[in-house]
Structure 1
Amino acid sequence: MTATAVPTRAPRTRPSATPRWYADVGGSIAALSLLVVVALWVSDGGVRQVVTLSAWGRLTGLLASDLMLLQVLLMARIPLVERAFGQDRLARWHRWAGFGSFWLMVVHIVTITGLLTELWDMIWNYPGMLLAAAGTLALVMVVVTSIRAARRKLRYESWHLLHLYAYLGVGLALPHQLWTGTDFTGSTAATVYWWTLYGVSAGAVLAYRVGLPAWRNWRHRLVVTRVVSEGPGLTSVYLRGERLGELPVRAGQFFQWRFLDGAGWSRANPYSLSATPHGDQLRITVKNLGDGSSRVAGLRPGTRVLFEGPYGKLTGETYTGGPVVMVACGIGVTPLLSLLGELPYRPGEATLIYRARGEAELAFRSELEWFAQHRGVRVVTLLGPRADRPGWLPAGLAGHRDAETLRQLVPRIADSHLYVCGPRAWAASVRGAALEAGVAADRLHTELFSW
């Protein structure tokens, strides 16, 4: 192992822990926005007309618009929101809000327009309706490609590009709401509310998805310094930049990366840090799973890098000591490696359970040996193909109960902080086993590989 790869803890000022009440306040504000929409509908005569389809059409349209804008805010990369909830939860809520908004929009269209001929007449003759129709088609495309079965058939890069059309759909929907929507312009309170929500949503996207990344890239100027093969289909990239000690990143987090090495640079890919951030150097490790990841092995030193982040809540911000257990599947070991270098556990307190198909897929052997020798980390490998039944154990242990096996591997599991990283279904199985084994929910931290 080279000196630059030694996983010592980073001499940097890490971001402070996020107060737990941040999440409660954020969730309350989101729920309150829906109540405000209903209240504005009631004040504009909605209850008096409740027996009519048009009244329900107005309400569903308003709720659809509110959820649509909440979707935008959920994925606007607002640092405070990211720190409070983490990407996993935000992405899940974003998806739920998206499907809810879509079906409310369908009900809105059906109840307001009725017959197909009336719909056609409204699109051609009502102000802003042609734009709204185009926006609706864009949103339909986003929804269809967000269905799990459709996502499996798309490359991540293609799905991500198509998903950006959601912004176009939201933007095209605005004119018809302002020109023909009496619920938007019928009262001063309604006008102020909707303009404020649209303004905050647009401002958040411009500030945190454009402005903040642009400023950080200008300030830190990341470049590739080394590219190292870690095994079949596995490549580590070392990056260096300016004033990286000022970057508010913690071990366990990930970034969206763009490598300026030619065609394809415009498509960002999410990769976790695979080593504790130290000084002016970062390291990521990438498994060859598609077009974007396959290019990484061919990167040359000196290649400029654009990044967005850091993101993710798989961090040690709530860990203050005591037993810690990390459970990784395949490439999921990378963020856990960075955490092993940062967390202040004592010798003998840390256990890493590493799940892989076989010996050839075990990566970072020398670093794991370093952790075992210098920091007393106990490394347990679980090898073999998947079991026929749902669960996190390999086929060779399929006859054992998930929770009981976890207790046997880690007798102090109920007193431990648990960090889990791997595919969604597998991580959910680990989480279920951990809860059954007595791990407290607030000590269970997960990062799932899905999109």
Structure 2
Amino acid sequence: MKTQLLPATPAPSRSGQNGLPSTPRAPRSGSHGSGPGRGRFARQHRQRMLQADLLTVIAWASVAAAVALWLADGGASAVSSPAALFTAVGIVAGLAGMDLVLLMLLLVARIPFIDRTVGHDRALEFHRKLGKPSLYLLLAHGLFIAVGYGMAEGLDPISESIALWTLVPDMWLAFVSMALFIAVVATSLVAVRRRFPYEFWYVVHLLTYAAVGTSLPHQFSVGGLFAEGTWQRWYWLAICTATGVALLYYRVIQPLVATSRHQLTVSRVTGVAHGVVNIEMTGRELGRLAGAGGRFFVWRFLAPGLWWHPHPFSLSAEPAVYGPDGTGTLRITVRNLGRGSAQLARLRPGTKVALEGPYGVFSTAARSRDKVVLIGAGIGITPLRALLETTPFAPGQATVLLRGHTEQELYLKAEILELCRQRGARLFHLTGPRARRNSTTWLPDEAVQNGYSLPSYVPDLADADVYICGPARWAGNVIADARAAGVRPDQIHHERFDW
């Protein structure tokens, strides 16, 4: 194992050391992260937590408001028979289910307030969690309505469903909508998702918009809850319209505006290591993207066979601005992880680039402490390099740990070394094979054999923000170690780019 350590203040590198403390050091007693520090980031952290609570309140309030629409219309007073009870349950289930669908759409609309509060990955996680409950509620809506109407008319649920399809205007669209919702939720299951490429899953997911669109007509044409002239109708129209406008603006219009504003063009592609390249781009008004280190963009390279494929990559360096109009360069670092990313190594200079973002909270915006620890492995090292360049800290308040099987896997290590020298950050290179007999460790085998753990490198870990970027299983092991060392969940920052 070869490791390297830089002292806490800027000084020449001391090569040839093993870089480990002379004896393993445990976390200091009483430093188990009892709450946000009193430094410059404490107020930012409290504000972000309040915003997260506000989003939770708004979400629950929207579901309650959907049910209140029915109650305000005298729905409860109309429950005077078993048939009316079934119908009432169906109506309430439909209102709640549709409200959850609208919440799901807002979570993937990439609204800045949501993205900067909970992060892109957590928004997607909540989106997925709402999928099954919304589908179950919509299925319950259809079933209970068919049973309730059927009991009132002396028909069985199947006969009533056929009658609704054939005799009631717009009702056939509701059945189409239900089939589309089932298809979308089914393809979202992990076991199903892994069988298909991202592009197939993405196209199927576009059916969500068709499902919502085909579900709306019968909501306004059947029953009296949303009859013309009622405030319930205006409320429902308003939230549906607001959801549609948010999706259109943040998913379509804003990326088009950003692409037009920055006029990005590939300037050169250079090798970093085997299967890893830097893609440098020139553009305009790049000062607007300053401070985005750690956050990711969605890139589309407008070349034959590539323009339709989105690539979520973080910047690997802060944009360099040198012109009066914000003209400058920016860079991403890409590893060959499949056919899509392999094609990027062959990009030609002059290729136009469309972009969306930046997204996520893997940035200074998530800080809660003055001290910071950056832990990266493989291509996950590259976003940390950009974050290290921009996030504020005093000399001695930052520690960087880079993990790789070999020195060649510590991508951009020379740049990170120079940044650590300039800014006074401790740097550890942790290389070597992982311990074979311990599937939960992320450290090299030699470090484990010598009894070292994460707090051995960062004794004050529990009083720091910890940024982790790397393969999912590896990152999970690092997170477990950090939690065992007393780091609070809100101090751990790890953003996934999975779908």
Q: TM-score normalized by structure 2?
A: 0.80
SS of the residue aligned with 2:164?
helix
Please report how far the alpha carbon of residue 31 of structure 1 lies from its aligned counterpart in structure 2 after TM superposition.
1.1
Please report how far the alpha carbon of residue 272 of structure 1 lies from its aligned counterpart in structure 2 after TM superposition.
1.1
Aligned ranges for residues 289-304 of structure 1 at < 5 Å?
289-304=337-352
Match of 2:55 among 26, 38, 42: 26
Aligned ranges for residues 257-406 of structure 1 at < 5 Å?
257-279=299-321, 280-317=328-365, 319=367, 322-377=370-425, 378-385=427-434, 391-394=440-443, 396=445, 405-406=453-454
Please report how far the alpha carbon of residue 255 of structure 1 lies from its aligned counterpart in structure 2 after TM superposition.
0.8
The separation in 2 between residues aligned to 1:158 and 1:352, in whole angstroms, is 39
Q: 2:207 maps to which residue?
A: 165
Between Structure 1 and Structure 2, how many residues are aligned? 435
Label 1:283 to 1:205 Cα distance change in 2 as closer, same or farther (>3 A). Answer: same
Q: 1:245 maps to which residue?
A: 287
Q: Which has the higher contact order (CA 8 A, sep 6+)?
A: 2
The separation in 2 between residues aligned to 1:415 and 1:383, in whole angstroms, is 28
The separation in 2 between residues aligned to 1:176 and 1:435, in whole angstroms, is 50
Label 1:449 to 1:385 Cα distance change in 2 as closer, same or farther (>3 A). Answer: farther
Identical residues among aligned pairs (%): 38
Please report how far the alpha carbon of residue 95 of structure 1 lies from its aligned counterpart in structure 2 after TM superposition.
0.8
Q: 1:132 maps to which residue?
A: 174
The separation in 1 between residues aligned to 2:306 and 2:167, in whole angstroms, is 42
Deviations 1:81-133 (A, max 9, x none): 21122102111111112222111112212222243343233223322222222
The separation in 1 between residues aligned to 2:229 and 2:395, in whole angstroms, is 65
Please report how far the alpha carbon of residue 225 of structure 1 lies from its aligned counterpart in structure 2 after TM superposition.
0.9
Deviations 1:206-226 (A, max 9, x none): 111111111111111111111
Label 1:439 to 1:189 Cα distance change in 2 as closer, same or farther (>3 A). Answer: same
**Unmatched 5+ residue regions in structure 1?**
1-15
Q: 1:113 maps to which residue?
A: 146
SS of the residue aligned with 2:337?
coil
The separation in 1 between residues aligned to 2:225 and 2:478, in whole angstroms, is 48
Label 1:292 to 1:398 Cα distance change in 2 as closer, same or farther (>3 A). Answer: same
Match of 1:142 among 167, 177, 184: 184
Label 1:233 to 1:144 Cα distance change in 2 as closer, same or farther (>3 A). Answer: farther
Please report how far the alpha carbon of residue 198 of structure 1 lies from its aligned counterpart in structure 2 after TM superposition.
0.4
Matched, 1:207 2:249: yes
SS of the residue aligned with 2:496?
strand
More displaced, 68-77 or 437-446?
437-446
The separation in 1 between residues aligned to 2:470 and 2:463, in whole angstroms, is 22
Matched, 1:39 2:88: no
Amino acid at match of 2:400: L
Contact 1:387/1:398 (8 A) holds in 2: no
**Unmatched 5+ residue regions in structure 2?**
1-42, 148-156, 322-327
SS of the residue aligned with 1:133?
helix
Label 1:208 to 1:249 Cα distance change in 2 as closer, same or farther (>3 A). Answer: farther
Deviations 1:125-173 (A, max 9, x none): 3222222222222222221121111222222233223222211211111
The separation in 1 between residues aligned to 2:211 and 2:273, in whole angstroms, is 43
Please report how far the alpha carbon of residue 419 of structure 1 lies from its aligned counterpart in structure 2 after TM superposition.
0.7
Amino acid at match of 2:90: G
Q: CA RMSD in A?
A: 2.7
Q: 1:86 maps to which residue?
A: 119
SS of the residue aligned with 1:447?
coil
Match of 2:110 among 77, 95, 101: 77
The separation in 2 between residues aligned to 1:163 and 1:413, in whole angstroms, is 41
Label 1:117 to 1:268 Cα distance change in 2 as closer, same or farther (>3 A). Answer: farther
Contact 1:422/1:449 (8 A) holds in 2: no
Matched, 1:103 2:129: no
Contact 2:434/2:443 (8 A) holds in 1: yes
The separation in 2 between residues aligned to 1:238 and 1:194, in whole angstroms, is 47
Matched, 1:67 2:96: no
